[in-house]
Amino acid sequence: MGGKPIKHRFQSLNEIPATTRESNAMSKDLLERGLRFVGPTICYAFMQAVGMVNDHTIKCFRYDTV
For position 4, what pLDDT does the model report?
84
Q: Which domain holds residue 31?
A: 6-54
Q: Is residue 61 part of a domain?
A: no
pLDDT, residue 1, reads: 60
What total of structural domains would you count in the chain?
Answer: 1
Answer yes or no: is 65 within a domain.
Answer: no
Confidence of residue 37 (pLDDT cuts 50, 70, 90): very high
Q: In this structure, is residue 44 part of a structural domain? A: yes
Task: Return d(Cα 63, Cα 57) in angstroms, integer.
Answer: 7
CA distance 43 to 38: 6
- Coil, helix or strand at residue 53: strand
pTM of the model as a whole: 0.84
